Amino acid sequence: MSLKKQFLKSKPVCKVTFLMEKEAALGAEKVDLLGEFNNWNTAEPIIMKKLKNGSFKVTIDLPTENEFQFKYLLDGEKWVNDESADKYVNSGLGAEENSVVTL
């Protein structure tokens, strides 16, 4: 998994690319990105595109000077953190943690 950040000079926005390699996707057919940036809305998730090599990828614009909690949802059933997240915080659900991207 990886996070790639591209800060724009023209406005306070960062293009963040979320990538989940095939191995990390655990054979999933569908991977959704959910987090604070879409209010954890499972009805309208950010759908990651499946690449020819089996990895999943999506790029979204996020406002700079913020932190956002997020997770991946595999096939609508299994929640997975990003191993390359900037940090992890308690999700408020027992011992579960969420990934965090810092911009």
Query: Model confidence over 17-33: pLDDT tens digits?
Result: 999 999 999 999 999 99
What global pTM score does this model have? 0.94
Handedness of CA 10, 12, 83, 51 (dihedral sign): negative
Question: CB-side exposure of 55: number of CA atoms within 13 Å?
Answer: 10
The predicted-structure confidence for 53-103, as pLDDT tens digits, reads as follows: 999 999 999 999 999 999 999 999 999 999 999 999 999 888 899 999 999
Q: Quote the mean pLDDT of the chain.
A: 95
Tokens of 7: 């800060």
Q: Which CATH superfamily is domain 2-102 in?
A: Immunoglobulins (2.60.40.10)
Termini Cα distance of the chain: 18
Domain residue ranges of the chain, discontinuous segments joined by +: 2-102
- C-alpha distance from residue 50 to each of 22, 30, 47, 70, 96 (Å): 9, 8, 9, 19, 27
